[in-house]
Structure 1
Amino acid sequence: MLKRSLHTQIFRNACLLLFLLMSNTNAKSQQSTSSPLPIKQFAHPHRIRYDGSCMSIEGKDVFIYSAAFHYFRCPQELWRDRFRKIKEAGFNTVETYIPWNWHERSMPSGLNDNSKFDFKDLKAWLKMAQDEFGFYTIVRPGPFLCAEWSGGGYPRWLAKFGPGKGDLWLRSADPEHIKWSVHWYNAVSKVLAPEQISRKKKGQKGIIMFQIENEYDAHGTKDKEVFLKALYHSYKNNGIDVPLFTCLTSQTRASKDPELSQVFDCDNYYVANLSDAPSCARRMYDLRKKQSDAPGFVTELQGGWFSLVTGTLSEEHYSDARHFKAIGLMSMLGGGTGINYYMFFGGTHFNGWGARGMTTSYDYNAAIRESGATSPKYFAAKAMGEFIKQYGTKLARSVGGPCELKDAPKSLFGGLRIAEDGTKFVFLHNTDPDKSLKGRVTVLPGKVAKSTEPIYNVNQNGEKVLIKTAAVTNGNTSANDSFAIDFNLPDLGAQVLVIPPGATPEQGKWCLMEPEQPVRPSVNVTPIRIASALRYNDPVNEAKWTVLPKETSLSEIGINDFRYNLYRSKVTLSAADIQQENRLLFNMFTRDIVSVQVNGKIPKRLFPEKADAQTWITRGAYSRIRPNEFDNRFDVSGLLKAGENEIVVVYENLGHAHGYVPMEELGGIRQAGLSKADTVLTHPLQWELTADVAGVTKGFTTPSFKADKWERVTLNMQDEIPRKGNGIQPKGEQTGLFTWYRVEFSLPEKDAKVWMPWMAKINASGNGYMWLNGHNIGRHWEAGPQREFFLPECWLNSGAKKNVLVFGLRQTVNGATINAIEVMPYPNSAEFKK
């Protein structure tokens, strides 16, 4: 998605501007030549093909109504519930990214080593989607995803093979990068090839589209065609024969290259504000003009927005059900015959897999919320699904677009599409989010389409056949026939008037697509306020220590996830040394943070860690740590002694950046030592390392662990726990490195007739992870804004069996203190079981 890497909103807008500028340049270039586009070749045209109008599957025109659902952001036990809800909303397709780093987590021995791949969950997701729920599927294996996902999908260990010169290597045409990308494509293609619809029996569902790269126009490397062709060849060499596509990639949009012309480009629509839905119609209309031999497809139609640490939650994003409906209908008005809502179900960053700076929640303000609850957007989607089911086939080969509306108020936008049988679809949208509109307007179809670019179909032999031009000439209506209609639109409302062939506008039918109002069961469950917790400092000296070779990254010892690690060094100093060396300096592989004890005492950080953690969490998205730069510095005056000194460090992996140079950085401490100043190490340290903090290896995270020696502390039972916000954590003091907490709670027996999702509301300081009955449910960032955390029902116990919630927290300048915890159902989310 065009939104992620620098300060995300600014970066998204800049990329959109860049894309539009490039599109305009390309358009002028295309207009200057009359040479035809290469003919599209289809391996199995009787099974699947496309033309300038739509996808045709098994000889039938299909309007692709797709929902984004990432299997890696949802426990497998909950997939069936999410699929069921997507199906009931009327979708015929589901889409997912496929993250390379999720499936090859350990560094292979070389390009030909495929032993580290694990695709079990991907195979299971495809099987459930296609075989059990009857969805077509769309897959997007990158290698770059963005997606607010760790590394944008690139494995962290891959940086070991880059040139390391500070220039951007990933996503480039560098031969070594291409080799590793093909290594990934070869592996994932072998898994996906049998799942193509072209390999299935007639009537069975399968993969209908494969994406190459992702939003490549937002990236500034050279020789992009070289990289794209290498990925194209890998797909083809591995038997991928269904349609290939890109999104926001000008190198393929209406390409005349013999190979890249066989890939069609799509758009991603993230609009500026509530009133900007008409931009979807205009951009889609423009896409159809510039790429006349492929359907108009929106790979990512805005389903909401993500949330950032120290930012705002997804629920605060402006998009609502009105906006959701409007951008969908406006995309159709522009000629879109395929839309994929991103996200339709967002999910959660379990185990810290979100990119650096992302909250644990990936709720996205989506139609299906993080908890699985259905939002108003869901019912808007369901109403549109009914409309598409009824009229999608006619819309698939309709012509038209935005047009002039005579005597229209300023906030009214719309246009006309005409189907092959003469059915007219008048799309109207009130762009005012605060006021309704009512009146009479004249539709001027002559302003619909000025383009005379040809629209092609493909016959059973895969031959290109001219169908018609893009002018509105179908049915009994000429392009210049105008007509008047009465309209009544609520604030931000969008509606479609369907006029049957030969009928007058007065005989038409308004498709209001009013969403149903769900009937939810009443829930009388008292929130469970937890009165006390058990607390224990991590026993660092009981950790499993191994000697770490000099300047060795975590990836090189097999750690490519986002756990906490311990480093330890013992250094012998003279009396003269301790008089002069009053600095402890750290040079990192990337901009991560450490907490330190020197001889059991906490030194003062020279660059104080801000309470809001913004600098440390997002800093790696902007600049690269250099080999001679020390960005964790401590004043150790008075803490050292003559003789042996012990330095213990907790390393916090803040996550893998998902854009630009920082995503090419390894993790861990490159070098550290004592210094007389802030620039040169006079006593470099030799490290020992633990793969995890001691508590993990000793089983603290498991529900069966006996915490007999832990201290019991009382929690706040009186004050209301804030449900969101930044910088509102308890203000304590740092007394150690890493602290554990353990709480227990019981839930009432499940009601056989009611489904009800649960969450924990937490007010605490310290950064770390949380485990529910042994399952890692994600990061706790003390900075905020997230204070409510999803407790997946598949990992919860009801009735007599207790639940155990464990916290492992690195102490910040505010310590690691739990003030209060409350477990409760999500409000207004319960449903009757089906």
Structure 2
Amino acid sequence: MRRILSVALVLTFIAKVNISAMSMHSDTARHFRYPDRIRYDGSCMTIDGKDVFIYSAAFHYFRCPQELWRDRFRKIKQAGFNTVETYIPWNWHERNMPYNINDTSKFDFRELKAWLKMAQEEFGLYTIVRPGPFLCAEWSGGGYPRWLSLKGPGKGDFWLRSADPVHIEWSLHWWKAVSKVVAAEQVTRKKKGQKGVILFQLENEYDAHDTPNKELFLKALYRSAKSNGIDVPLFTCLTGECRASKDPELSQVFDCDNYYVDLTEAPSCARRMVNLRKAQPNAPGMVTELQGGWFSLVTGRLSEENYSDARHLKAISLMSLLGGATGINYYMFYGGTHFAGWGARGMTTSYDYNAAIRENGAVGAKYAVAKEIGDFLRVYGGQLARAAGGPCELQSSGKLFGGVRVAPDGTRFVFLHNTDQEHAVKEKVTLVPGKIDKPSVPMYNINQHGERVLIHDINTGASGSLAMPAFTIEADLPALGAGILVIPPGASPEKGQWWPKAAVPVERPALAIQPIRIAVAKRIEDPVARAVWKPLPAAASLPALGISDFRYSLYRAAFQLNAAEVSKEKYLLFNMFTRDIVSVTVNGVPAKRLFPDKADAQSWPTRDADKRIGSNEFDNRFEVAGLLKTGTNEIVVAYENLGHAHGYVPMEEPAGIRAGGLSVTDTLLSHPLRWEYAADVAGVTQNYCQPGFEPSGWEKVALDTTGEIPRKGNRMQPKGGQTGLFTWYRVEFYLPDISPRIWVPWMARINASGNGYMWLNGHNIGRHWETGPQREFYLPECWLNTGKQKKNVLVFGLRQTVSGAQLHAVEIRPCLEDAAFKQ
């Protein structure tokens, strides 16, 4: 007869662990301003006197139209989440440079306030906020405003994220403003039982950045948060300076882990969580970013090709729980879209992330897994929050990894994972809780570039072992499967039940809606002469001119040449503030670029493109011999703002043309030119992208209606030639009437050359990168007009590349595989 672990023995063990942790770290005891409302200890968060397992979904309000927030929140709530998390981007809320550091007139927090209110009051979700100032997040500038680059030393040193006094001063300018907004939404400011903000993050993944005196910067943020009303717990992620710190201030900040692991490396989540809890025995084990998929890069792969599937999501979730996590946040649970070019340099418009809720709002197998885990935590989360144990030795075939956690009432939670990605496992396995698991293979994480990085902190010791006898269970798991056997107090394993329970499949309607192939477009060249032109001050960047977003701008120069100069000047050179791209016409004729193979993002992103450009370098160079003439000449430039990087050197740089002119050689200016600039291409100021604009005089062009349009892929655009600078296309379409009980998302599948933006009924839906891999673009239903009498207008504004700007084919497609009945 198997011996069963007694409740008394479990309680004695847990008490000894807690007393030991308290005695070891009494010198860094945590202090809570309102401990009756919110506090934490070495086990979990306690909110309004109740232990809470934090089950959180990452959902960024700035990547989703506000009209669709309610749908995303509803799906998150229905999946069993009690918390939702978001970054708060500084550059989103202070888009224009303030007059001085005390000027707060440029802040606009209306969206943040509305998102918090909806999450907390309408859907009853706790909220976690992460205001940076650095986010990463594959977001422009990592959240830093581009105008902030003008405040730095500009000497090539990496200034952002540093302890430089000016950087700290401007960071506190942001911190003061955002803290006051968040403070009003804290759970401590709400009535007991009401939802609010429960956690507030300082910085983000600071371990990834090598700069001296990090503690100085972190402490400045800490003090600012406290002085501006933040009284909920503060945390960091992957920031060693706060992990078990002895500093009087930083000891009040607990650190979390982020887990991005390969398909077969879910066990590392359990081992790393054990290590985190060993390092911070007086703080809960939390995963700020539990992998929900991956982002996609221009010239890379789409998120849908990421290996993270439903099996992977389930395995890393359960293995994190096995290691002792009492808080997990899926990054991303809903990814969304980079509208209007707000994605970081080199990002696609889609931020689908292969997340459980897809870019268009659809749900599938990963969502079902998250819901299954949510159901489990709804029943057992409170018990698991104070359970003890972890990975342990298994006597089995060697394919299984697992362990046991025991709740204070004696409930045993047996976690098992089949690490074989091809074969199921059905066998008896004996767990030896008194012997801690020892890793026998190296473990890896995935960095922000998608590269495997060896993990060096897998040093699990014996502290997670339980003083209980071995026991045997029956395991039956599919390839890469994972499960939890819940054994009631005092019961034998045969009385246990396997969790999570399978979710009810989504019922989908049977529909026969055909794609809409566009036959005709209207086309016009940008009338650059009608742009709003202003003199360009010497060496003025675009942020210095009040342009800190990612629009397409124009430059032009008019100048006189004599016959000798015409024969001598052979090149046109541009010195840029950062490595952006321009197209050029000289006297109305496109200029041929030197080194065209390196232009137009055809090899984007590259390491060369990430390097800082010096004040004497010429990054965009053109041949002009034969294009110049005696007398008056005009050069017009279309400037493509490739975007703001999110964690490396170009993050330091403003945008724009620093200087440009003619040259005898391709290395040194001999004839600097005086320039004018237009903040926007003429078509924007002429309202071409608005649905009410009447395109009289535009040329009608026939589009291909028979050839297949690739749904994804790199370098598959039409191969034409440059005929001008910036070209506009306009297409119109009507959607069929669909039952109000049925939801169908739509996308546009596009085959075109040229880089630029797209507008759906006046809304900027993001960048078109000709090089790919993205060929399908989400059309948010809140911006679509449905019904045969309601016209939709899709407008393209495209800078001509070496392949020109040719709209070859467009198809408006219903995503029938994602259709669902409305709730």
TM-score category of the 2 structures, normalised to the smaller one:
over 0.9
Distance (Å, rounded) in 2 between the aligned partners of 1:345 and 1:599? 49
Distance (Å, rounded) in 2 between the aligned partners of 1:388 and 1:660? 39
Name 2:268's counterpart in structure 1. 279
Asked if 1 retains the 8 angstrom alpha-carbon contact of 2:391 and 2:464, the reply is no
Name 1:24's counterpart in structure 2. none
Alpha-carbon distance, 1:722 to partner: 0.7
Name 1:808's counterpart in structure 2. 797
Amino acid in structure 1 at the alignment position of 2:383 = K
Alpha-carbon distance, 1:190 to partner: 1.0
Distance (Å, rounded) in 2 between the aligned partners of 1:698 and 1:617? 33
Alpha-carbon distance, 1:621 to partner: 5.8
Asked if 1 retains the 8 angstrom alpha-carbon contact of 2:25 and 2:282, the reply is no
Corresponding position: 1:297 with 2:286: yes
Distance (Å, rounded) in 1 between the aligned partners of 2:680 and 2:591? 23
Alpha-carbon distance, 1:610 to partner: 4.8
Asked if 2 retains the 8 angstrom alpha-carbon contact of 1:427 and 1:494, the reply is yes
Counterpart of 1:504 (choices 487, 492, 498) is 492
Q: Structure 1 pair 545/189, CA: closer, same or farther in 2 (3 Å)?
A: same
Distance (Å, rounded) in 2 between the aligned partners of 1:490 and 1:638? 70
Asked if 2 retains the 8 angstrom alpha-carbon contact of 1:212 and 1:244, the reply is yes
Q: Structure 1 pair 609/647, CA: closer, same or farther in 2 (3 Å)?
A: farther
Q: What's the secondary structure of 1:170's corresponding residue?
A: coil
Counterpart of 1:656 (choices 640, 644, 667) is 644
Name 2:806's counterpart in structure 1. 817
Q: What's the secondary structure of 1:828's corresponding residue?
A: helix
Alignment of 1:325-344 (within 5 A): 325-344=314-333
Alpha-carbon distance, 1:516 to partner: 2.9
Spell out, residue by residue over 1:201-247, the C-alpha distance to the aligned partner (whole angstroms, 9 max, x if none).
Answer: 11110000000000000000000000000000000000100000000
What TM-score, normalized by structure 2, do the two folds share?
0.93
Name 2:67's counterpart in structure 1. 77
Alpha-carbon distance, 1:119 to partner: 0.4
Asked if 2 retains the 8 angstrom alpha-carbon contact of 1:727 and 1:783, the reply is yes
Asked if 1 retains the 8 angstrom alpha-carbon contact of 2:298 and 2:769, the reply is yes
Q: What's the secondary structure of 2:727's corresponding residue?
A: strand
Distance (Å, rounded) in 1 between the aligned partners of 2:742 and 2:152? 53
Name stretches of at least 5 consecutive residues in structure 1 with no aligned partner. Answer: 1-30, 451-468
Deviates more, 1:621-630 or 1:130-139: 621-630
Name 1:781's counterpart in structure 2. 769
Alpha-carbon distance, 1:519 to partner: 1.2
Counterpart of 2:87 (choices 97, 111, 117) is 97
Distance (Å, rounded) in 2 between the aligned partners of 1:394 and 1:128? 29
Name 1:436's counterpart in structure 2. 424
Name 1:174's counterpart in structure 2. 164
Amino acid in structure 2 at the alignment position of 1:538 = D
Name 1:365's counterpart in structure 2. 354
Corresponding position: 1:234 with 2:234: no
Counterpart of 2:658 (choices 670, 686, 695) is 670
Counterpart of 1:258 (choices 239, 248, 253) is 248
Asked if 1 retains the 8 angstrom alpha-carbon contact of 2:346 and 2:604, the reply is no
Asked if 2 retains the 8 angstrom alpha-carbon contact of 1:136 and 1:207, the reply is yes
Distance (Å, rounded) in 2 between the aligned partners of 1:233 and 1:803? 51
Q: What's the secondary structure of 1:731's corresponding residue?
A: coil
Alpha-carbon distance, 1:411 to partner: 2.0
Q: Structure 1 pair 82/633, CA: closer, same or farther in 2 (3 Å)?
A: same
Spell out, residue by residue over 1:436-483, the C-alpha distance to the aligned partner (whole angstroms, 9 max, x if none).
Answer: 001001100102499xxxxxxxxxxxxxxxxxx99679xxxx614000
Deviates more, 1:819-828 or 1:324-333: 819-828
Q: What's the secondary structure of 1:167's corresponding residue?
A: coil
Amino acid in structure 2 at the alignment position of 1:673 = G
Amino acid in structure 2 at the alignment position of 1:109 = Y
Alpha-carbon distance, 1:660 to partner: 2.1
Asked if 2 retains the 8 angstrom alpha-carbon contact of 1:65 and 1:93, the reply is yes
Amino acid in structure 2 at the alignment position of 1:133 = F
Amino acid in structure 2 at the alignment position of 1:198 = T
Counterpart of 2:195 (choices 205, 216, 224) is 205
Distance (Å, rounded) in 2 between the aligned partners of 1:614 and 1:336? 44
Amino acid in structure 2 at the alignment position of 1:493 = G
Q: Identity of paired residues, percent?
A: 70
Name 2:454's counterpart in structure 1. none
Q: Structure 1 pair 666/37, CA: closer, same or farther in 2 (3 Å)?
A: same
Counterpart of 2:734 (choices 731, 742, 746) is 746
Distance (Å, rounded) in 2 between the aligned partners of 1:286 and 1:309? 37
Name 1:571's counterpart in structure 2. 559
Q: Structure 1 pair 106/511, CA: closer, same or farther in 2 (3 Å)?
A: same
Corresponding position: 1:219 with 2:216: no
Asked if 2 retains the 8 angstrom alpha-carbon contact of 1:609 and 1:813, the reply is no
Q: Structure 1 pair 659/614, CA: closer, same or farther in 2 (3 Å)?
A: farther
Alignment of 1:486-565 (within 5 A): 486-565=474-553
Amino acid in structure 2 at the alignment position of 1:199 = R
Distance (Å, rounded) in 2 between the aligned partners of 1:307 and 1:441? 40
Distance (Å, rounded) in 1 between the aligned partners of 2:425 and 2:437? 26
Spell out, residue by residue over 1:238-260, the C-alpha distance to the aligned partner (whole angstroms, 9 max, x if none).
Answer: 01000000000000000010000
Q: Structure 1 pair 302/224, CA: closer, same or farther in 2 (3 Å)?
A: same
Distance (Å, rounded) in 1 between the aligned partners of 2:568 and 2:87? 54
Amino acid in structure 2 at the alignment position of 1:304 = G
Distance (Å, rounded) in 1 between the aligned partners of 2:264 and 2:600? 33
Asked if 1 retains the 8 angstrom alpha-carbon contact of 2:376 and 2:500, the reply is no
Distance (Å, rounded) in 2 between the aligned partners of 1:765 and 1:59? 60
Give the aligned CA root-mean-square deviation in angstroms.
1.7
Counterpart of 1:390 (choices 367, 379, 393) is 379
Corresponding position: 1:165 with 2:155: yes
Name 2:456's counterpart in structure 1. none
Distance (Å, rounded) in 2 between the aligned partners of 1:232 and 1:610? 45
Q: Structure 1 pair 763/309, CA: closer, same or farther in 2 (3 Å)?
A: same
Distance (Å, rounded) in 1 between the aligned partners of 2:422 and 2:43? 36
Counterpart of 2:409 (choices 418, 421, 432) is 421
Corresponding position: 1:594 with 2:582: yes
Distance (Å, rounded) in 2 between the aligned partners of 1:34 and 1:45? 22
Deviates more, 1:396-405 or 1:618-627: 618-627
Distance (Å, rounded) in 1 between the aligned partners of 2:590 and 2:464? 75
Q: Structure 1 pair 497/284, CA: closer, same or farther in 2 (3 Å)?
A: same
Alpha-carbon distance, 1:619 to partner: 5.3
Amino acid in structure 2 at the alignment position of 1:293 = N
Aligned length: 780
Alpha-carbon distance, 1:34 to partner: 6.3
Distance (Å, rounded) in 2 between the aligned partners of 1:491 and 1:44? 47
Name 2:390's counterpart in structure 1. 401
Amino acid in structure 1 at the alignment position of 2:218 = L
Name 1:768's counterpart in structure 2. 756
Q: What's the secondary structure of 1:689's corresponding residue?
A: strand
Distance (Å, rounded) in 2 between the aligned partners of 1:694 and 1:174? 41
Deviates more, 1:572-581 or 1:156-165: 572-581
Amino acid in structure 1 at the alignment position of 2:372 = A
Alignment of 1:111-122 (within 5 A): 111-122=101-112
What TM-score, normalized by structure 1, do the two folds share?
0.92
Q: Structure 1 pair 663/404, CA: closer, same or farther in 2 (3 Å)?
A: same
Alpha-carbon distance, 1:615 to partner: 3.9
Counterpart of 2:335 (choices 331, 343, 346) is 346
Amino acid in structure 1 at the alignment position of 2:822 = K
Distance (Å, rounded) in 2 between the aligned partners of 1:369 and 1:728? 25
Distance (Å, rounded) in 1 between the aligned partners of 2:27 and 2:41? 12
Name 1:826's counterpart in structure 2. 815
